[in-house]
Structure 1
């Protein structure tokens, strides 16, 4: 299993110990090495000599590639080279939509073939391609509206010129031209009415509500209702 230790390193166990890495940063695991900026560190226990370690890749050599160039859903591959004794680390991020965010809790496998090449397979949701989303209902509505307007004006104009007898002339070739001339004024009247009505309600709504409530309980209203109920 891929786990994260207290220092923030991800590590996975293999037949020759553990390998520590942080994908885009040097691991916190210390190891004496000639590699200036390590990308991954392998630790193991050797009988008679105690714990050993080796840097298995240099961070500046990081190289990203698709596992399958013809299928982006196959995941990506991160390769680090130039480790101690020419060690190489390959971190294979397999696309797994069920894994959210980083793949710390995903399963991992450490393979050491060929010799001094360390391959870690990690399931990760972040390794999946971003699938373009389809058009929203808003854009579909706008597109349909544009298509309708084009058909309406172009088709209506063609009808008024080619089919209608006698054919229309001038601006009258536009479908319902008289209505379109009135439309700006109608919109203005509607806006003015809404503004005035809104201001009136804002000033008088509390008073009208009180009067309405009082009217509901007035004798003039309740007496006829009670009589009808009897």
Structure 2
């Protein structure tokens, strides 16, 4: 029973997190339209046609022996990278270059870790993946940061773009890409939905596991009685049903007074 309750709680929270997530339908290699109707994200003013907008940036969160380059919207070639959107090049050996993503494989997905929207690239061989978190900024400036290769996921690389062009509406005129290597900028952007998910899961786990252990070993309960507040959970479906029926039932205009 405890495992069943845990499953349903986790399932419920996954539905909540999915509902709170933002979705953006891809309309081009660097643009998408928000599904909630708030506007369009378009990174084309930041791209450099015939060049590289963000070139030779160092990883600041997970430093390594490489530099990273990215060009929104337009493909570029550099060292051993040809026709790519993102390229990784060795600092001491420029011939050591890797395709980290091409525009044909670009996709916009919810950013469950930071909230908002992220632009994902897959390499032509699908061996490497790049995630660029799009952080809406109203400061009027654009900041690009390379975090580096995620140590938890081999061949997965994390970048961040903080710009007015990441906001789902028409932004101000282009401020232009910053020079590389980029400045070390550490930002934290967590949505309300992400905070609720982060707080709920540990709390629910402690509540269920702690309550089960307390009831089983301290109170010597057995069977379904080891579930904490079992009476409440047993009555919850009925309460939800009653509340739902009350909410959808028509309002009856009945007098509370008796005729004399």
TM-score (norm 1): 0.43
TM-score (norm 2): 0.38
| Higher-RCO chain (CA-CA 8 Å, sequence separation at least 6) | 2
Bigger helix share: 1
Bigger strand share: 2
